Amino acid sequence: MPMSYTLQFINLLAALLLLIVFAMLSQRRILSLINLFAWQGFVLALSTFVVAYTTAQHHLYYSAALTLLLKVLVLPWLLHRLIRKLNVKWDVETLINIPTTMLVGIALVIFAFNLADPITQLAQGITRGLIGIALASVLLSLLMMLTRRKAISQVVAFLSLENGLFFAATSATQGMPLVVELGIALDVLVATFIFGIFFFQIRETFDSLDLTHMEKLKDD
């Protein structure tokens, strides 16, 4: 495949990643939010595979396979299992309305591209132009964490934030050492199990997964 076509395909995948984060930001259904996270993981894995093929960085093939296994199969399966166990059927609740959230998201994307411009000049590699998209994805995921009231939706936002950081590493430096990636993957998996226990504890204590009930502890 010619280099120009490969770069265009990588740029297309990066744009899809950003669109998926926007879709997650505007999503009201928890099941749809988890499914979008799985699609984000699939696009991230495909992007990593293409970067590995283009740059001949063989360790990125393992990263792509690990991302596919963890972010597309294992974590979405665990999250689906959690919401079935918790009998979760509610919509995603936000602290501010969706239109306002989207406007703030657009402002964050503009800020991210302006912030990434000088970093792009210092970065090496064919994917250095994608740092702006990677930073925008991170900021949008952080916004999603701050504007969600339910615990599960905040965990999905946290996992999406980790995806954005991984994409940023791939864009700036063609990936991290494999040992580091394996350590991060293990940390994310363990964190998901801990979050699951945390969900059950909140449910038993407050009969709800709304984190605003945690404020009651301040008054005790």
Task: Say which DSSP state 210 is in.
Answer: B
* Per-residue pLDDT, 182: 53
| Cα-Cα-Cα-Cα dihedral sign, residues 143, 146, 150, 154 | positive
Name residues whose C-beta falls within 8 Å of residue 1's C-beta, 6 or more positions apart in sequence. 9
156 neighbors 32 (Cβ within 8 angstroms): no
- What single-letter amino acid sits at 188? V
Contact 101, 147 (CB under 8 A): yes
What's the structural domain count of the chain? 1
- pLDDT value at residue 184: 58
Which residue would you say has higher pLDDT here, 103 or 126? 103
Q: Which residue in 176, 108, 99, 103 sits closest to 140, CA to CA?
A: 108
Q: Which amino acid is at 69?
A: L
3-class secondary structure, 57: coil
More confident residue, 41 or 191: 41
Q: Between these two residues, 93 and 143, which has the higher pLDDT value?
A: 143
> What's the pLDDT score for residue 214?
47
14 against 179, higher pLDDT: 14
Q: pLDDT confidence of 95, banded at 50, 70, 90?
A: confident
pLDDT of residue 158 exceeding 90, the answer is: no
**Residue 64 and residue 51 in contact, taking contact as beta carbons nearer than 8 Å:** no
Percentage of the chain exceeding pLDDT 70: 67
Judge whether 64 and 48 are in contact, CB under 8 Å: yes
Q: What crossing angle do the helices spanning 151-173 and 3-25 adopt, rounded to 10°? A: 160
With a pLDDT cut of 90, the percent of the chain lying above it is: 13
What residues contact 20, with CB distance under 8 A and at least 6 apart?
36, 39, 40, 43
Q: Give the pLDDT mean for 197-201.
A: 55
177 pLDDT band, cuts 50/70/90, is: low
Domain ranges, residue 9: 3-219
pTM of the model: 0.79
For 42-82, what is each residue's pLDDT tens digit? 998 898 888 888 877 777 888 888 888 888 888 888 888 87
The rounded Cα 150 to chain-centroid distance in angstroms is 17
Amino acid in the structure at residue 13: L
Minimum mean pLDDT range among 107-111, 132-136, 163-167, 179-183: 179-183
User: How far is it, in rounded angstroms, from Cα 19 to Cα 39?
Assistant: 11
**What pLDDT, on a 0 to 100 scale, did the predictor assign at position 210?**
52
Strand partners, 150: 210
pLDDT at 169 over 60: yes
Q: What is the pLDDT of residues 12-38, one digit of tens each?
A: 888 899 999 999 988 878 888 889 999
Angle 59-67/178-206 helices, nearest 10 degrees? 20
Residue 219 has pLDDT above 80, yes or no: no
Please give the pLDDT value at position 97: 83
